[in-house]
Chains A and B, each alone.
Chain A
Amino acid sequence: MSVISLQLGQCGNQIGQLFFDTLTSDLQQREKEGNSKAYQSHCLDRFFVSGDDHKLEARAISVDTEGKVVSNVFDQAKKTGRWCYPSDQQLSGRRGAGNNWADGFYNHGVKCEQEVLDMVQRELEKCDHFGGFCSLMSIGGGTGSGLGTRVTRALKEAYSKSFLINVLVWPHSAGEVIVQNYNAVLSMAHLSESSDALLIFQNDDIRKIAQTSGSSSKVTFDDMNRVVSEQLVASLQPAVSHDGSDNLLGCYLEHLVPHPDYKLLTSRFLPQVSEAAVSFSTFNWPALTKRTFQMLLTQSVQDEGLNWHIKPSNSRNKTLSNLMVIRGKGCQSVDTGIFSSPEIYPSWIPRGARFASFTQSLPLLRYEKSTSLLSNCQTPIRALDTMVSKAWGMFAMRAYTHWYTPLWHARRGIYRLLCKT
């Protein structure tokens, strides 16, 4: 299976670069340990293609309205010496979208839509077994939210039979951009129709995780992006189910988001410890699974400060389905029975379709044992509600609607999309 990544906007490109970097560093570590040829070949076939000079080229397309970010990530990839981006699979402009969703969607989006589709087609032709698209973007700014939404819609129209997952970085609850609520709501209104699944990473949560697992107290965007990329790697690296089938992207989506009205996914990853603390920590499977389950019950993506009084019977977090990827020695014998508790699922979900697990006996990165849980649950609802109510509040005051007006009939459009969400 091959996954084509679309890095859209600054955030998308930076996360994408770190994602591929993490992948290759993981492969390097496994290579040192030996006995992982099949794993390596699976991983390489999934995310990389062998270039002309036998150098690994990421199956990725980089798009941004500013050229600086794209050239930066290209350079950083080259510097690693392990992999690179294909030189002809990038698209960048001179002028950014200025945190304006409408500029990204109606201006840059229209201009570069066809070009992006051509690049996708070229990349698609390199795949023997195409698994799906993975779009990486933030929805607070202009390029990722506007152009990213446009590209997603175009992909859906052009490749209607393909699988498409959008990895969305949710803006901070306060502070980043003044119109982030509008941008996010407008993006979500479009993406909920175009995409098969929306995997949401909230900046507030990522920051806290980065603080816990980082070495210094000052958290940078790079640290936060690393957290996101590690969680993505933990979910997407090769693993097998109990019946021996691979963890294809289609399998994930089939299990997690078959209902078209419920597409929001949340990722939870354990352990969340700093690199320095890993060597002093010991993990066992019951503790890891129990903690992951408690995180699910408490709607938390963080390991710290879990409320252990919450039980399945009094949990407010209803989930439709869960999928767990367990990596490390002895993963086959892990008891995941607690994830099948009927109290946390609605009764109309068939019992057999509620929980699935994939295992990989090889460790991930520096973690001897790790669990990654993808849930179709109510965790993102609170953030979404907050965002929508803020956007409604701003719209009621006609605040900043003029930003969008030159390109779009903003008031009517925003109102229509706000109603959708």
Chain B
Amino acid sequence: MASQPVKVSSSKMRLAIGTLCQFLSLSGFSPISPETLRQAKFNKREAVGPLLSLLAELIDFSTATQCAKSPQFNREETVYVVHSGMLSRHFQRRQFYLCLDIDNSTCHSSRELLIAIGWLICTESLLKQMLFSKETSSLRSFPDVSHKLQERKIYMINTREDMEAPSSFEQYLNGLVWNMGKCRLATKQWYWKEQEIVKLAHKIHVATQGVSLAKNRVCLSPADVTILRYKDKLEKHLHTVEKENRRLQMFFQWLEKEEIFWQWMESVIDAENSERIQNEDPAARSQVDDSYPFDDYSKTLADLSSQLDTTLKEVTQRMQFYDKSLMEKSVPSGETGNPLDVRFEFVPKRVKDHIPKSIVHSQSDWSPVGGIKDIEEEILILSKRLSSLEAKLLEQRDAFSCSCTEMLASIDGVVSIPPILCNQR
């Protein structure tokens, strides 16, 4: 594949695709046009049929038979062969399997088929296999009996399918013996066919000693004799040779243009990606974004960081404000104030006395959390002190009212009126 994407002209690309198509066609696969591949790039439905057949044939070729166009699959079989074939080759493209509709024996995406064909050709070096395969070569040995073997194979399969379910073991045994007998007699026929070939080849070798069309042979081959004897076969043979020659040329051309083709295949995948992105709606895209958990985490972290910054700033500002106000409201040493207003008397002293010099922070290093804590503690202490003072005041008031009552009781003609505060209590 192309290691570096280089801009290639469309004519060169067309040539590369055409080379591949011609090579496949000359190797005996279903003919396919470059236009079909182009349509597949843009995911046109017209290209589905030919590409599906081609993919099935390629899979069949690479599986075991090594014979292009050997079986004529119907539509259902084609989809099944394609599905199972690609699955067994570990082709892991999810979209490909999603677009294969086995129930309706079709495929919804020609582009996926094209990508699968490209993948198969690339991973299994199929074109090289085709070049060296005898079955795909036009120059098969004479006489060509492969179609006979194929017919025989189909006949045997049909025979097996035709057999009715035996109703008894005896019937089953008879059926088995019958089929075994057929195999035995067919093998005999094959043996005599082989004998015939050997005899005829020997006759030809003896009769054509010293006459040769090839350098490394001293006599004519059976194929040579057939050609020389039958004029029409000579023409057919020439046509075959020309076809094989063209196939080889196509392969050489393919080797030159291969890189361009794979670049084009990359563009097919790019087209697929870009189309996917375009087709998605924003909601779906956000859903897709949400599906990436690290994005979430980073976003949350960023939010938290900014929140922390602002909080810190606010706290620092508040602390500075508190510091200033404390400094301004602090009472100078030796000055006596309201005995009840103990707060302003206590706080500066505590600050100065209780905080060791070594851990006194500068204004910038002030810990807002520590400051708040101290303030809260101070508020707590002060509120306790306040409540204790209020209790003392209440006791003194009670004591005062009792002494007043005792004093007034000793003086005649004086009525004692209790203070409002006491009543309120």
A binding-site residues for B, Cβ under 8 Å: 128-131, 161-163, 196, 243, 245, 248, 250-251, 253-254, 257-261, 320, 346-353
Top 10 A-B pairs, shortest CB-CB distance: A258-B181, A348-B175, A129-B196, A351-B162, A254-B185, A250-B189, A350-B162, A258-B182, A348-B171, A350-B159
- Chain A residue nearest to B168 in the complex (CB): A348
Q: Are B178 and A352 in contact (CB-based, < 8 A)?
A: no
Contact partner, B196, options A128, A254, A347, Cβ 8 Å: A128
Question: A residues within 8 A CB of B352?
Answer: none
Question: A residues within 8 A CB of B192?
Answer: 129-131, 161-162, 250
Chain A nearest CB, measured from B323 CB (Å): 107
Question: B residues within 8 A CB of A260?
Answer: 177, 181
| CB of B188 within 8 Å of the partner chain | yes
CA distance A236 to B303 in the complex (A): 99
16 contacts between A and B (CB under 8 A): A129-B192, A129-B196, A161-B191, A163-B188, A250-B192, A254-B185, A258-B178, A258-B179, A258-B181, A260-B177, A347-B171, A348-B163, A348-B164, A348-B178, A352-B155, A352-B158
CA distance A352 to B179 in the complex (A): 12
B binding-site residues for A, Cβ under 8 Å: 148, 151, 155, 158-160, 162-164, 166-167, 171-172, 174-175, 177-182, 184-186, 188-189, 191-193, 195-196, 199-200, 203
User: With A129-B196, A352-B158 given, is the CB distance from A346 to B182 under 8 Å?
Assistant: no
Given contacts A163-B188, A254-B182, 20 further A-B contacts (CB under 8 A): A128-B203, A129-B193, A129-B195, A130-B195, A243-B151, A254-B189, A257-B181, A258-B177, A258-B184, A259-B174, A346-B171, A346-B174, A347-B166, A348-B166, A348-B171, A348-B174, A351-B162, A351-B163, A352-B158, A353-B162
CA distance A346 to B423 in the complex (A): 128
Question: B residues within 8 A CB of A349?
Answer: 175, 178
Q: Are B159 and A353 in contact (CB-based, < 8 A)?
A: yes
Chain A nearest CB, measured from B155 CB (Å): 7
- Chain B residue nearest to A129 in the complex (CB): B196
User: With A128-B200, A250-B189 given, is the CB distance from A353 to B174 under 8 Å?
Assistant: no
Chain B nearest CB, measured from A34 CB (Å): 22
Choose among B160, B189, B195, B203 the residue with the greatest number of A CB atoms under 10 Å from its CB: B189
CA distance A189 to B171 in the complex (A): 25
Question: B residues within 8 A CB of A253?
Answer: 185
CA distance A253 to B182 in the complex (A): 9
Question: B residues within 8 A CB of A196?
Answer: 185
Choose among A248, A257, A258, A348 the residue with the greatest number of B CB atoms under 10 Å from its CB: A348
Question: B residues within 8 A CB of A131?
Answer: 192
Question: B residues within 8 A CB of A353?
Answer: 159, 162, 178, 182
Question: B residues within 8 A CB of A243?
Answer: 151
Chain B nearest CB, measured from A38 CB (Å): 13
CA distance A352 to B151 in the complex (A): 14
User: With A250-B192, A352-B162 given, is the CB distance from A347 to B184 under 8 Å?
Assistant: no
Contact partner, B188, options A128, A161, A259, A346, Cβ 8 Å: A161
Chain B nearest CB, measured from A41 CB (Å): 14
CA distance A406 to B167 in the complex (A): 51
CA distance A352 to B178 in the complex (A): 13
CA distance A99 to B272 in the complex (A): 92
Q: Are A350 and B177 in contact (CB-based, < 8 A)?
A: no
Chain B nearest CB, measured from A291 CB (Å): 28
Question: B residues within 8 A CB of A254?
Answer: 182, 185-186, 189
- Chain A residue nearest to B190 in the complex (CB): A250
CA distance A347 to B166 in the complex (A): 7
- Chain A residue nearest to B180 in the complex (CB): A258
CA distance A281 to B55 in the complex (A): 60
Chain B nearest CB, measured from A251 CB (Å): 7
Question: A residues within 8 A CB of B167?
Answer: 347
CA distance A351 to B165 in the complex (A): 12
Q: Are B181 and A259 in contact (CB-based, < 8 A)?
A: yes
CA distance A186 to B200 in the complex (A): 41
Chain B nearest CB, measured from A226 CB (Å): 31
Question: B residues within 8 A CB of A352?
Answer: 155, 158-159, 162
CA distance A261 to B177 in the complex (A): 9
CA distance A130 to B193 in the complex (A): 8
Q: Are B185 and A348 in contact (CB-based, < 8 A)?
A: no
CA distance A348 to B192 in the complex (A): 29
Choose among B155, B160, B164, B167 the residue with the greatest number of A CB atoms under 10 Å from its CB: B164
Chain A nearest CB, measured from B174 CB (Å): 5
Question: B residues within 8 A CB of A348?
Answer: 163-164, 166, 171-172, 174-175, 178
Q: Are B189 and A251 in contact (CB-based, < 8 A)?
A: yes
Chain A nearest CB, measured from B348 CB (Å): 116
CA distance A351 to B175 in the complex (A): 11
User: With A260-B177, A346-B171, A347-B166 given, is the CB distance from A248 to B189 under 8 Å?
Assistant: yes
Q: Are B185 and A250 in contact (CB-based, < 8 A)?
A: yes
- Chain A residue nearest to B185 in the complex (CB): A254
CA distance A130 to B177 in the complex (A): 26
CA distance A18 to B158 in the complex (A): 41
Q: Are A250 and B162 in contact (CB-based, < 8 A)?
A: no
- Chain B residue nearest to A351 in the complex (CB): B162
Question: A residues within 8 A CB of B186?
Answer: 254
Q: Are B188 and A250 in contact (CB-based, < 8 A)?
A: yes
- Chain B residue nearest to A131 in the complex (CB): B192
Chain B nearest CB, measured from A154 CB (Å): 18
CA distance A250 to B169 in the complex (A): 29
Question: B residues within 8 A CB of A130?
Answer: 192, 195-196
CA distance A131 to B185 in the complex (A): 12
Question: B residues within 8 A CB of A161?
Answer: 188, 191-192
Chain B nearest CB, measured from A130 CB (Å): 6
Question: B residues within 8 A CB of A163?
Answer: 185, 188
CA distance A320 to B182 in the complex (A): 13
- Chain A residue nearest to B165 in the complex (CB): A347
Question: B residues within 8 A CB of A251?
Answer: 189
- Chain B residue nearest to A254 in the complex (CB): B185
CA distance A340 to B211 in the complex (A): 54
- Chain B residue nearest to A130 in the complex (CB): B192
Question: B residues within 8 A CB of A320?
Answer: 178
Choose among B151, B160, B188, B199 the residue with the greatest number of A CB atoms under 10 Å from its CB: B188
Contact partner, B177, options A128, A162, A245, A259, Cβ 8 Å: A259
Choose among B162, B178, B180 the residue with the greatest number of A CB atoms under 10 Å from its CB: B178
Question: A residues within 8 A CB of B151?
Answer: 243
Chain B nearest CB, measured from A328 CB (Å): 26
Question: B residues within 8 A CB of A258?
Answer: 177-182, 184-185
Chain B nearest CB, measured from A253 CB (Å): 6
- Chain A residue nearest to B187 in the complex (CB): A161
CA distance A347 to B158 in the complex (A): 16
Question: A residues within 8 A CB of B203?
Answer: 128
Question: A residues within 8 A CB of B199?
Answer: 128-129
Q: Are B174 and A350 in contact (CB-based, < 8 A)?
A: no
- Chain B residue nearest to A160 in the complex (CB): B188
- Chain A residue nearest to B181 in the complex (CB): A258
- Chain A residue nearest to B159 in the complex (CB): A350
- Chain A residue nearest to B174 in the complex (CB): A348
CA distance A129 to B196 in the complex (A): 5
Chain A nearest CB, measured from B188 CB (Å): 5
Chain A nearest CB, measured from B35 CB (Å): 37
CA distance A257 to B178 in the complex (A): 8
